Amino acid sequence: MLMPWHGLFSQILLADRVLIYDDVQLPTGGGSGRSFMTRVQIKTPNGVDWLSIPVQRSGYSNQRICDAKVCNTSWRKQHLAKIERSYSKAPFFQEILSNVVLPIYQNESSYLADFLIQSMKVIGGVLGVKTSFERSSLGDWANELSGTERLVKICRRLGASDYLSGNGGMNYLDYESFERNKIRVKHFSYRLRPYQQLHHGFTPYLSTIDLLFCVGPQFARDYLETIPIYWRDWPHNLDGRPVPFSP
């Protein structure tokens, strides 16, 4: 994901291993050609706006993330200009611009996945992430399987006791398959408590660079602390599946 929101880094900070699925189909945002894989929200003086990476799609239907190439346009310069206009008055602007934003945008690879993973590595480094980022396209990660079956096999291969899932996994994970293999699935109650932002009020679900610009790395690390919750301990619907909530 492009400079993702802080909830993802709450997960990553607790993980011993991080495997990025880049050998799966590039999402297209329900047919619009866009998804959070290639764009992210920031806060500007005029409200929320998007940073979007244009991707070559003509003749590349159903392409994998690892195969997708970015368009050869001036989008990097446009992003940097928009970020500077939006955050030049932030308390930690110069520090985060120098240590996070510029190192991300200096990646000139023509491949989308290289840029996305670079953005996650750089932000993760500032937040104190110790684990490495591995890519499913660069090894034998049960590539012949899909869905829960693949996740379980990967967890078993790594000797994992827990699988830390985003809450979107509540819609499709086969929990009993994990249980049969003695792997505990855990979800997160993401912290959406306000922090001091620029440009009036608080807006959630922005890129993590908003958090870093506004409060700095040390406060951000404390802000991201969370406790994963075993799936059986979440409220469940009548079908026995967990449903998101804020405890």
How deeply is 113 buried, as exposed, middle or buried, from its count of CB atoms within 10 A (0-12, 13-18, 19+)?
Answer: buried
**For residues 48 and 2, what is the distance between their CA atoms, to the nearest angstrom?**
16
What's the pLDDT band for 212 if we cut at 50, 70, 90?
Answer: very high
The model's pTM: 0.90
Whether the pLDDT of residue 236 is over 60: the answer is yes
More confidently predicted of 239 and 109: 109
**For residues 116 and 41, what is the distance between their CA atoms, to the nearest angstrom?**
15
Which has the closest alpha carbon to 228: 161, 173, 181, 182? Answer: 161
Query: What stretch of H or E contains 14?
Result: helix 6-14
Mean pLDDT across the stretch 95-112?
A: 97
How deeply is 140 buried, as exposed, middle or buried, from its count of CB atoms within 10 A (0-12, 13-18, 19+)?
Answer: exposed
Whether the pLDDT of residue 8 is over 50: the answer is yes
35-81 pLDDT tens trace = 788 999 999 999 999 999 999 986 667 899 999 999 988 999 999 99
215-235 pLDDT tens trace = 999 999 999 998 899 999 887
Mean per-residue pLDDT of the chain = 90
